[in-house]
Amino acid sequence: MQAVGTAGAIGLVVSLIIIAGSQLVVRAVAKDS
């Protein structure tokens, strides 16, 4: 069960990083255009 919880936490962190990264990309593109 601990391994499952660790994998879930890693997946959550990765998803948050992806969301934050995509928002930064969108902002950068909006500034350029």
pLDDT for residue 33 is more than 80:
no
What pTM was computed for the model?
Answer: 0.62
Cα 16 to chain centroid distance, Å, stands at 3
pLDDT for residue 2 is more than 90:
no
Of 16, 11, 18, 15, residue with least CA distance to 3: 11
Query: Stretch 16-32: mean pLDDT, rounded?
Result: 94
- pLDDT band, very low/low/confident/very high, at 1 (cuts 50, 70, 90): confident
Query: Stretch 14-20: mean pLDDT, rounded?
Result: 98
For 17, how many CA atoms within 13 A lie in the half-sphere containing its CB? 6
